[in-house]
Amino acid sequence: MNKLLPILTVVVAIMVVWYAAAVGMNKKWALDQAERAGISLSTGALISDTWSQDRPRLPAPHQVVAELWKSTGGMVIKGKPFSKRSLIFHGWITLSATLAGFVIGTSAGILLAVGIVHNKAMDMSVMPWAIASQTIPILAIAPMIIVVLNSIGVQGLIPKAIISAYLSFFPVVVGMVKGLRSPDHMQLDLLRTYNASGSETFWKLRLPSSMPYLFTSLKIGMAASLVGAIVGELPTGAIRGLGARMLTGSYYGQTIQIWSALFAAAILAATLVGIISLIERRMLKRMGAA
* Site for other proteins, residues 183 to 222, rule: CB under 8 A: none
Exactly one of 16, 55, 62, 275 binds other proteins (CB under 8 A); that residue is: 55
- Residues 285, 111, 179, CA angle at the centre, nearest 5°? 40
User: For residues 202 and 263, which CB has a smaller minimum distance to other proteins in the complex?
Assistant: 263
Q: Nearest distance from residue 135's CB to other proteins, in Å?
A: 3
- 83 touches 89 (CB < 8 A): yes
Residue 1 binds other proteins (CB under 8 A):
no
CA distance 285 to 163: 34
Exactly one of 1, 39, 77, 140 binds other proteins (CB under 8 A); that residue is: 140
Exactly one of 34, 158, 211, 238 binds other proteins (CB under 8 A); that residue is: 238
Exactly one of 266, 275, 279, 287 binds other proteins (CB under 8 A); that residue is: 266
DSSP-derived secondary structure for 22-46: HHHHHHHHHHHHHHHHT----HHHH
Cβ neighbours for 164, distance < 8 A, ≥ 6 positions apart: 97, 98, 100, 101, 102, 104, 105, 224, 225, 226, 227, 228, 229, 231, 232
Residue 278 binds other proteins (CB under 8 A):
no
Q: Which of residues 141-180 bind other proteins (CB under 8 A)?
A: 141-144, 147-148, 150-153, 155
User: For residues 288 and 290, which CB has a smaller minimum distance to other proteins in the complex?
Assistant: 290
Q: Nearest distance from residue 144's CB to other proteins, in Å?
A: 7
CA distance 249 to 260: 10
The residue count for binding other proteins (CB under 8 A) is 91
Please name which of 54, 55, 48 lies closest in space to residue 23, comparing C-alpha atoms. 48
User: For residues 48 and 150, which CB has a smaller minimum distance to other proteins in the complex?
Assistant: 150
Exactly one of 105, 218, 245, 256 binds other proteins (CB under 8 A); that residue is: 245
CA distance 28 to 289: 57
Residue 47 binds other proteins (CB under 8 A):
no
Q: Nearest distance from residue 35's CB to other proteins, in Å?
A: 12
User: For residues 154 and 286, which CB has a smaller minimum distance to other proteins in the complex?
Assistant: 154
CA distance 162 to 141: 12
Q: Which of residues 14-43 bind other proteins (CB under 8 A)?
A: 14, 25, 29, 33, 36
Reduce the DSSP state of residue 125 to 3 states and report it.
helix
In the chain, what is the greatest distance between 2 CA atoms, to the nearest angstrom?
A: 90
Residue 124 binds other proteins (CB under 8 A):
yes
Exactly one of 66, 103, 127, 283 binds other proteins (CB under 8 A); that residue is: 127
